[in-house]
Structure 1
Amino acid sequence: MTSDTSRFAFARSNFPKGFRFGAATAAYQIEGSSFGGAGPCHWDTFAQTPGNTAGAEDGSVACDHYHRWEEDLDLVRDAGLDAYRFSMSWARVLPEGRGQPNREGLDYYDRLVDGILERGLEPWATLYHWDMPAALSDLGGWRNRDVADWFAEYTQIIMGRVGDRLKGTATLNEPWCVAWLSHFLGHHAPGLRDIRAAARAMHHVLLAHGRSMEVMRAMGLENLGIVLNFEHARPADESDGAALAAARYDGIYNRWFIEALLHRRYPEIVLEGLAPHLPAGWEDDMDLIGRPLDWLGVNYYTCNRVAPDPDQPWPALTSVPGPLPKTDMDWEIAPDGLAFFLKRLSALSDGNLPIYVTENGMADSAPEDDQTRIAYLDSHFAAARAAIDDGVDLRGYFVWSLLDNYEWAFGYDKRFGIVHVDFDTQKRTPKASWHALRAALREPAPAE
């Protein structure tokens, strides 16, 4: 850090020419699901079930971005950012998940994309950030193989409306959360704890990605990718049992999706547990799943200390607290893990796949000076710069998040935004991190 702790240590000129700086959000977390003709999604019903979310809070109003999007896009522009990453709500576009589109929803995303472009920003869209239409959840959601065709239909409709103006498009955000966190651990909607459901979701989410890519390629669209999350698995101690547990965790969390996408395989260390529960003939889907990507999005926040738990069934592991400083999510601050994954992923793709950090940030409700967030981001920007120096084709970095928002099962208590939101009045107030980012980005990129 510099001696002035209200500023970042980096400037725009520390990164290559053309490197994109942006901020990211997600539809259900900011838009307000009760507006504009959106249908219910499984997060609406999950939150209405006692004990599932903090204070039984939901995203029905969230940040009211549906009505306040112009003000929010002005904040992106005024911060000196280059790009805005957002998601579209499947339930807003197709209230029943299939069939008749919602004209209000399509018109809204039309206005939003035009508004991004009018401010000189690049629109980077994600088709799915966890808001499965409730009508499709009734039919099994991600457990049902038909979800791939449902998702393809949704892709055709929304991309037919706005796809011609997007700079980049991701099919899905964090399939580990969509499948494992939500169907095995039960922490997110639909809140299941069932290994068969998890195994099928782990496969079908990738099959849906493949079908969506197939549709967009047929439409002639370009710059298509997917966003995966990664968490650095560290053995809790030096024992062989901890090493094996960490390897299993790494296989489930970090290897399952990327190895399917890049090498059309699932890791053996995970198939040991999931193979009996995968759908019959899953091997025949790997060619579709593994069709080429134009870019890969990397979401990174923390590491995890993993220990064996021999009294439990497979994967027989647990997490233990670590010694590093922690965020309000109780996540350790470990920026070296970001550099580790950027280099690992570059090597896994033989250096031929452009990479973007599509989410990085921290939950912090500390005083307004926001120094902990500035230090967190600074250390991760430095890790990204180090990865570039090591030859990684890293092309952009999106801070999570633009706004304090609905943080899923944690409700509105965990504040990730570089802009403070008063959820009673919806007043937006840029934090010190927003101002520090603005100052860092004012310095122009190096000349040709």
Structure 2
Amino acid sequence: MNFPNDFAWGAATAAYQIEGGADADGRGPSIWDTYSHDKKIDSLRNRMNILNGDTGDTACDHYHLYKEDVKLMKEMGLKAYRFSISWSRILPEGRGKVNEAGLAFYSRLVDELIEAGIEPYITLFHWDLPQALQDIGGWFNPEMPAIFAEYVKIVVKALSDRVTYWMTLNEPQCHIIIGHIMGECAPKLRVSDQQGFYLIHSILKAHGKGVQVIREYAVKKPQIGIAPNPQAFYPATEREEDRKAAEKYSFRITTRNFWNSTWWLDPILLGRYPEDGIRVFGEDFPMEMIKPGDMELISQPLDFLGCNFYQGTKIMADEKGEPVVVPRKQGFDMTAFKWGVTPEILHYMPTFLYKRYNLPIYITENGLSMADWVSLDGNVHDPLRIDFMKRYLLELGKAIEEGTPVKGYFAWSLMDNYEWSNGYSERFGMIHVDYETQKRTLKDSAHWYREVILSDGECLSK
């Protein structure tokens, strides 16, 4: 199996999960600093915000160890590296005075990557809103799209002479739904459904303004996308009826569910909110929030669609051809995070998404958490991660062979890191991190991935 010669074989991280240096060189606090330092028991969940009270204060100390980390990336043979910018490291108050030391860090990182022959892919927002902006209402504040655009302008003017690939937002679904509607992540709000739509509309307008700014100020001709986590579905069999049912289910709204992909992708890529969803939510969808020009702003043309995929749901067609969810069998295959192992989603979802939105696809996150450790021989053996990645990549290869333009694959994650509300209890990395000593150890999967990259995926068939 051969992947395209220009395929972007990469790995991904996020700023708050690996950087540490929480108050180094003028960085301001983000909502995740606030959330992780709140040790009170949440009465609704009967637990602290973060498992074991962990914080991202030090994390993997990438802020100080980035040169070592880039050397490891080069040793792994990575062609691309996706990372996010800490907004509050650039603008401690979220706007206003620029922290030049913070900006210089990312400039040095970009230089280090380029020198190592690794293409930088920058995500501009990965959930860590500056606390100062949350204090003025966060995404409820009508000025937020413009504030985001000003932040993007600063980053793009500083780095776009060397950076081509940009993503505005990472998984806005998780940030808004889990953090603002469910209240189980930062900033820990629990708003009404109607308020939830205002937040969605606000962050999508910010995306649109961000795209405009990148187009206007980028020095190198940019490639611009977004990295959501679409709900993933796959057919129960290879029957055409099941395939059509899975595709139909992927873009249908029949219940009051904010996770439906079309709430997030249709406005951006089709210029409209889904009519079936508006009918389901009825009066709780506030039509008055949509002002003249909003949808044109939100649907700025993009160059690619990033997709974060981990697990999916099996769909079959009933006797009328309508989609039916197939329940998971008892004892289904799962990761340490209790997520299902469903590699078929990398075959079908890129194909479904390309057919609907006609944009090239990047898999911007895919991987698994495992209970792995440094063995007595000094190595980290993670055969299940290798098996998982191979299964998913083989399925992705099928999508490519069928003509879906998949441009790259970014494993989640480059290294073990701070897994948000689960703290340091989950290990997603291909590099093991000892959080007490900050020692890095390439896992077996890192060496295996190098061979995959060197062979452009040909070794996957062996």
Instruction: Indicate the TM-score class for this superposition, using the shorter chain for normalisation.
Output: 0.7 to 0.9
* Paired position in structure 2 for 1:176: 173
Q: Which of the residues 343, 349, 367 maps onto 1:335? A: 343
Give the AA of the match of 2:91: L
Distance in 2 separating the partners of 1:182 and 1:274: 24
Structure 1 segment 96-111 matched on structure 2, within 5 A: 96-111=93-108
Aligned with residue 308 of structure 2, among 291, 294, 299: 299
Partner of 1:257: 264
**Which residue of the other structure, out of 269, 279, 284, is the alignment partner of 2:276?**
269
Q: 1:116 to 1:60 in 2, by over 3 A?
A: same
Structure 2 match to 1:147: 144
Provide the rounded CA distance (Å) in 1 between the counterparts of 2:333 and 2:283: 38
C-alpha change, 1:22 and 1:234, in structure 2 (3 Å) is closer
Report the CA distance between 1:277 and its aligned residue: 5.0
* 1:379 to 1:301, Cα distance in 2 relative to 1, 3 A: same
Counterparts of 2:393 and 2:352 in 1: how far apart (Å)?
17
Report the CA distance shift for 1:321/1:104 in structure 2 as closer, same or farther (over 3 A).
farther
2:228 equivalent to 1:228: yes
The superposition leaves residues 307-345 of structure 1 with CA deviations (integer Å, 9 ceiling, x where unpaired) of xxxxxxxxxxxx986643111211111111222210111
1:349 aligns with 2:357: yes
2:370 is aligned with 1:364: yes
What SS does the aligned partner of 1:77 have? helix
**TM-score when normalising by structure 1:** 0.87
CA distance in 2, matches of 1:24, 1:379: 19
Of 15, 30, 34, the residue aligned with 1:41 is 30
**1:443, CA displacement in angstroms?**
2.9
Change (3 A) 1:387 1:445: closer
* Aligned position for 1:116: 113
In structure 2, distance between residues paired with 1:249 and 1:46: 28
| Alpha-carbon distance between aligned partners in 1 of 2:257 and 2:232, rounded to the nearest angstrom | 8
* Distance across 2 between alignment mates of 1:58 and 1:275: 40
Distance of aligned partners of 1:357 and 1:340 in 2 relative to their CA distance in 1, 3 Å threshold: same
- When normalised by structure 2's length, the TM-score is 0.85
Q: How does 1:2-401 map to 2 (within 5 A)?
A: 14-32=2-20, 33-49=22-38, 50=40, 51-194=48-191, 195-220=193-218, 221-232=221-232, 247-248=254-255, 252-271=259-278, 272-273=280-281, 276=284, 278=286, 280-282=288-290, 284=292, 285-304=294-313, 323=330, 324-350=332-358, 353-366=359-372, 368-401=380-413
| Alpha-carbon offset, residue 441 of structure 1 | 2.2
2:446 corresponds to 1:434: yes
* Letter in structure 1 aligned against 2:446: W
Shift of 1:163: 1.6
Separation in structure 2 between the aligned mates of residue 371 and residue 63 of structure 1, nearest angstrom:
23
Secondary structure in structure 1 of the residue aligned to 2:347: helix
Coordinate RMSD, CA, aligned:
2.6
CA distance in 2, matches of 1:46, 1:322: 37
2-structure distance, mates of 1:230, 1:429: 32
Per-residue CA deviation, residues 229-287 of structure 1 (Å, 9 max, x unaligned), is: 1232589xxxxxxx899854777332211111111111233323276354734153111
CA distance in 1, matches of 2:342, 2:385: 13
Once the two structures are superposed, residues 52-79 of structure 1 have per-residue CA deviations (whole angstroms, 9 ceiling, x without a partner) of: 1111111111100000000111111111
Q: Distance in 1 between matches of 2:456 and 2:259?
A: 41
Closer, same or farther in 2 for the Cα pair 1:291/1:254, shift >3 Å? same
Matched residue of 1:171: which SS?
A: strand
Task: Tell me the amino acid that sits aligned with residue 384 of structure 1.
Answer: L
Bigger drift between 135-144 and 187-196 goes to: 187-196
Secondary structure of the 1:229 match is: coil
Secondary structure at 1:399's aligned position in 2?
A: strand
Cα distance, 1:42 vs structure 2? 0.4
Gaps of 5+ in 1: 1-9, 236-242, 307-318
Distance 1:150 1:246 in 2: 32
Distance 2:179 2:52 in 1: 19
The aligned amino acid for 1:29 is Q
Structure 1 residue ranges, 4+ long, deviating more than 6 angstroms after superposition: 243-246
Distance 1:78 1:145 in 2: 46
The answer to whether the 8 Å contact 1:176/1:253 transfers is no
Task: Please state if 1:402 is matched with 2:399.
Answer: no
Amino acid at match of 1:289: I
Tell whether the 8 Å contact from 2:148 to 2:210 is kept in structure 1 after alignment: yes
Q: Is the 8 A contact 2:234 2:349 kept in 1?
A: no
Q: Taking every aligned residue pair, what percent have the same amino acid on both sides?
A: 40
Match 1:418 to one of 430, 435, 438? 430
Distance 1:274 1:123, change over 3 A: farther
Offset, 1:115: 0.6
Contact 2:417-2:428 within 8 A present in 1 as well:
yes
Which stretch shifts more, 420-429 or 54-63? Answer: 54-63
Q: Following TM superposition, by how much is the alpha carbon of 1:410 offset from its aligned partner in structure 2, in angstroms?
A: 0.5
Secondary structure of 1:331's counterpart equals coil
Separation (CA, whole Å) in 1 of partners of 2:411 and 2:283: 36
**SS at 2:311 equivalent:** strand
Matched AA of 1:299 = N
CA–CA separation in structure 2 for the residues paired with 1:279 and 1:140? 21
Cα shift readout 1:113-171 (whole Å, capped 9, x = no counterpart):
11110111101100001110000011111222211011001001111111221130001
Matched with 2:44 is none
Using the alignment, how far apart are the partners of 1:198 and 1:377 within structure 2? 35
